[in-house]
Amino acid sequence: MSKINIGIMGLGTVGGSTYDILTKNRDLITARTGIDYEIHRVLEIKQENILKHGVDPAIVTDQVEKVIEADDLDIVVEAIGGMEPVSTWMITAMEHGISVVTPNKAAIAAQYDRFLGAAEKNGVQFRYEASVGGGIPELTAIMESLAGNRFLAVSGIVNGTTNYILTQMGDFGLSYEEALKDAQAKGFAEKDPTADVEGIDCANKLTILMKLCFDQYIKPDQIPRTGITQITKADLDAAAAKGCRVKLLVQAKLDEAGKLTYSVAPTELPKDHPLASVNNEFNAIYVTGDAVGEVMFYGKGAGPATGSAIVGDILHIMRDLTIGGRK
Ligand code: HSE
């Protein structure tokens, strides 16, 4: 049986959950795919993370070169986040023939062509299902199962932190600060939650969705954007009195002339709208295709569930690597 060696950079909420899934479900995954694998190296300096996930100290390193320049790794997961140095690290890994999996929407949205170009040039894969919608597998569906469609619109709730804050403020009376603190404690929020509450994280994700649905690369800073920092409990109550709920929506659609319009903004939705009942860290992504009509993807968009999408990408690459006995 072939053996695939995996490296993980960062054992925070997402990297840690990726490690746990690959470890806990190892027999099932191996039986299902017919591919054997090993978590061969982990880049982490925080002892508490190493202990929390029970990682064998023998595979832990604090030297990034041992991961991104390794000749004994097939796939590396970047789960540290931020723009640099991790963008350069991901490129270096691909230059060394290692496929990369990442949830890093900020880096992908800013440098989509750079990453995909490096993957193509070096004959490796760069996969990023977890970058939008956490554990929800909508990007692969858009790229594969729905690839025969001409997409007309994509919209949704794609930030768990702000959806958690709006739900807790509107339904449970928490203050903005209390709800944000809670979201941070649960591992939903970005390192700097400004990216969540100002809609920057949503804009990053909309850039990726628009690239895949419409093949238009519109950078996040070109997207009209309003966050939730100005939303008060009074706004949520006023919306509720009208039978509505406020949600931070991303939206992009083609008009009749084929022009794409797009935005990130808090939006009042009637309570019976399907997106109005998407609460807390749950996300939902709606796509409209000319052949399939409307499709909605729903699930946990932040936190440990994100590891599920990363493992899905790893398995995708493992299958490709072992086709025809290449490994
Ligand atoms: N901070 C992000 C969110 C994490 O709250 O949705 C998942 O991308």
84 and 209 in a single domain? The answer is: no
Determine whether the shortest distance from the Cβ of 302 to ligand 1 is under 6 A: yes
Residue 217's CATH number:
3.30.360.10
DSSP secondary structure letters along 123-156: T--EE-GGGSSTT--HHHIIIIITTTSPEEEEEE
Determine whether the shortest distance from the Cβ of 198 to ligand 1 is under 6 A: no
195 and 314 in a single domain? The answer is: no
pLDDT reading at 324 higher than 70: no
Whether the upstream peptide bond of residue 85 has omega within 30° of 0, thus cis, is yes
Q: Which of 81, 110, 123, 108 is nearest to 302 (CA)?
A: 81
Q: Ligand 1 centre and the CA of 326: distance in Å?
A: 36
Q: Ligand 1 centre and the CA of 302: distance in Å?
A: 5
Determine whether the shortest distance from the Cβ of 280 to ligand 1 is under 6 A: no
Domain span at residue 79? 4-135+305-323
Question: Could you report the per-residue pLDDT of 39-50, keeping only the tens digit for each?
Answer: 999 999 999 999
159 and 41 in a single domain? The answer is: no
Determine whether the shortest distance from the Cβ of 137 to ligand 1 is under 6 A: no
Domain count of the chain? 2
Q: Ligand 1 centre and the CA of 3: distance in Å?
A: 33
Question: Mean of the pLDDT values across residues 43-59?
Answer: 98
129 and 11 in a single domain? The answer is: yes
Sorting pLDDT into bands at 50, 70 and 90, what band is 195?
very high
239 and 312 in a single domain? The answer is: no
Determine whether the shortest distance from the Cβ of 189 to ligand 1 is under 6 A: yes
CB 221 within 8 A of CB 204: no
Confidence at residue 191, expressed as pLDDT on a 0 to 100 scale: 85
Determine whether the shortest distance from the Cβ of 160 to ligand 1 is under 6 A: yes
240 and 147 in a single domain? The answer is: yes
123 and 144 in a single domain? The answer is: no
Nearest CA to ligand 1 atom 1: 189
Question: Could you report the per-residue pLDDT of 6-30, keeping only the tens digit for each?
Answer: 999 999 999 999 999 999 999 999 9
Mean pLDDT of the chain: 96
Determine whether the shortest distance from the Cβ of 196 to ligand 1 is under 6 A: yes
**Percentage with pLDDT > 90 across the chain:** 97
Residues taking part in catalysis: 205
107 and 143 in a single domain? The answer is: no
User: Beta 75-78 vs 60-61: how paired, if at all?
Assistant: unpaired
311 and 288 in a single domain? The answer is: no
Q: Ligand 1 centre and the CA of 159: distance in Å?
A: 5
Q: Which atom of ligand 1 is nearest to the CA of 163?
A: 5
Question: What letters, b where the CB count within 10 A reaches 16 and e where it falls short, cover 124-159?
Answer: bbbbbbbbbbbbbbbbbbbeeebeebebbbbbbbbb
Q: Which atom of ligand 1 is nearest to the CA of 130?
A: 8
221 and 127 in a single domain? The answer is: no
122 and 171 in a single domain? The answer is: no
Q: Ligand 1 centre and the CA of 192: distance in Å?
A: 11
112 and 178 in a single domain? The answer is: no
Residue 83's CATH number:
3.40.50.720
